Each structure stands twice: as structure tokens, then as C-alpha cells.
């Protein structure tokens, strides 16, 4: 059954917003367009100065029927922490948890439990980490309590090469873009590919396109978004 609170209105003009990571000021600016429905691509919290305010903005948009967010890897960690599960509490997550009062914890936990890992509207595909053709065959699964694997792992973490970068993070691959079908545009975050402060656009071998909207908000960069008209395909 479709969760109507996390469904994209078919004829709405959209504002597609990249990783926020607690940049509440930038997120408030993105949310100011009352004539657009917001699709936020995941990773709302951790890193920036005000994850609590970021969550409140998003939750208020959901309550008003003006937006939704997809589940990112940081959102999954927050969901598991709020549920009392065993997760690694790094400095970003610790900062987020310290900002949440009991009422906000309850609101956030309920919304995180319902957030989808990907959504599609016509020739527009929205996901946090990366695309897989299996996502076109079935709706997003429920998030497991244990290890995330398969297509769901691609949605949250993208595709990796198996090598580590000097900064200690996995090296990410763009091979998945070559499998995006002709005419489909994937809007994603997670992988900060931009070198000029603008969303990074990459075209695949089959004629599909990926647009990477993570430009470093909450991590020394800024928040980016793209506006799509109602009839975009």
C-alpha cells in the first residue's frame, strides 16, 4: 500500500533538494517556495549546526502536505539510534542526538520509519545513494533491523569499488549510471562529485542521466536544489 504522506503529487512542480546535514538556514531557504513540492534526497542531519531545526522544517512540510524526504544512510543511523539499536555514535550523530528534545525525537522516529528509499515519477527517479535496475521492478522494501544488502544497499550507499580513499571512506564508482535506461534522469545525493559548487551531471552509456545534488551542505559547502516543472518527464 502506498504511503500517501510519502508520495509525490503527480502534477506538482518540484524542488529537489540535496543532502542537508543540519544546514537549517539553507534548508529554510529551500523550503520557502510555497508553490513547489519538496523532494529531499536524504541525509537531513549530522555535521551542520542545527539538525534539530532541519528536522522540524522537514516534518512541518510533511504535515502540511508540501514535501517528503528519502531515506539516506545518515537518516538510517538516526532511526536506529532513536529505536535503541546498536549503532556507532560518531561526532555527527552524537551532535544530532544532543539537540533533540523528547517531542522531536518521537516525531522524527515516526517519520524515519515511513521514509522510502526511492521514488519514481514518470522519467524522474529519486534516490539517495545510487540507482539499480531492480528499483524499477518493485517498491522500496521495509528497512531491516540488521545489515542492509542488495538493492537497498545501493539506494543508501551507492556503488563502491572495494577500495578505500585516503580519507578513510570507501571509494565510490559511477558504473551504475551506465545502467540507467534511456530517457530516465536519476536525482541523487550522497556522492559529492561537484567541482564548481553546482550539481554534477553525468550521462550514462544507455542514454540515462544522473544528477548529483550533494554540494557539501553542513560540511563546509552549501545546499543545492533543482526546480522541476509539473510536466517534466
Whether residue 233 is contained in a domain is answered as no
Contact 232, 204 (CB under 8 A): no
Q: What is the distance between the alpha carbons of residues 49 and 20, in angstroms, rounded to a whole number? A: 11
- Please state the rounded mean pLDDT for residues 14-29: 98
pLDDT tens-digit map of 45-101: 998 899 999 999 999 999 999 999 999 999 999 999 999 998 889 989 999 999 999
Whether residue 157 is contained in a domain is answered as yes
Q: What is the pTM of this model?
A: 0.95
Whether residue 140 is contained in a domain is answered as yes
Q: What is the distance between the alpha carbons of residues 65 and 60, in angstroms, rounded to a whole number? A: 9
Whether residue 6 is contained in a domain is answered as no
pLDDT tens-digit map of 107-141: 999 999 999 999 999 999 999 999 999 999 989 99
Q: What is the distance between the alpha carbons of residues 233 and 229, in angstroms, rounded to a whole number? A: 9
Which range of residues forms the domain containing residue 50?
Answer: 12-228
For position 137, which CATH number holds? 3.60.21.10
Whether residue 106 is contained in a domain is answered as yes
Number of domains in the chain: 1
Which residues are 125's β-sheet partners? Answer: 120, 186
Judging by beta carbons within 10 Å of its beta carbon (0-12, 13-18, 19+), is residue 229 exposed, middle or buried?
exposed
Q: What is the distance between the alpha carbons of residues 203 and 201, in angstroms, rounded to a whole number? A: 7
Whether residue 59 is contained in a domain is answered as yes
pLDDT tens-digit map of 177-232: 999 999 999 999 999 999 999 999 999 999 999 999 999 999 999 999 999 999 65
pLDDT at residue 167 in the model = 75
Amino acid at each position: 500500500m502506498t504511503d500517501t504522506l510519502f508520495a509525490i503529487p503527480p502534477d506538482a512542480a518540484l524542488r529537489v533538494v540535496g543532502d542537508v546535514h543540519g544546514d537549517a538556514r539553507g534548508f529554510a531557504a529551500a523550503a520557502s517556495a510555497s508553490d513547489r513540492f519538496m523532494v529531499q534526497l536524504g541525509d537531513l542531519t549530522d555535521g551542520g549546526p542545527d539538525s534539530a531545526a532541519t528536522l522540524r522544517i522537514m516534518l512541518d512540510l510533511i504535515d502540511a502536505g508540501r514535501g517528503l524526504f528519502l531515506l539516506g544512510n545518515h537518516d538510517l543511523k538516526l532511526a536506529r539510534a532513536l529505536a535503541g539499536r546498536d549503532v556507532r555514535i560518531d561526532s555527527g550523530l552524537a551532535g544530532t542526538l544532543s539537540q533533540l528534545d523528547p517531542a522531536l525525537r518521537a516525531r522524527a522516529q515516526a517519520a524515519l520509519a515511513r521514509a522510502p528509499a526511492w521514488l519514481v515519477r514518470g522519467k524522474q527517479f529519486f534516490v539517495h545513494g545510487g540507482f539499480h535496475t531492480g528499483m524499477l521492478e518493485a517498491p522500496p522494501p521495509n528497512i531491516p533491523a540488521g545489515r542492509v544488502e542488495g538493492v537497498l544497499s545501493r539506494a543508501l550507499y551507492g556503488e563502491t569499488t572495494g577500495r578505500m580513499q585516503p580519507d578513510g571512506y570507501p571509494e565510490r564508482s559511477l558504473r551504475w549510471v551506465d545502467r540507467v535506461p534511456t530517457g530516465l534522469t536519476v536525482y541523487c545525493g550522497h556522492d559529492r562529485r561537484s567541482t564548481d559548487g553546482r550539481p554534477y551531471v553525468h550521462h550514462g552509456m544507455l542514454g540515462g542521466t544522473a544528477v548529483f545534488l550533494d554540494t557539501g551542505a553542513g560540511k563546509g559547502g552549501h545546499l543545492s536544489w533543482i526546480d522541476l516543472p509539473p510536466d517534466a518527464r
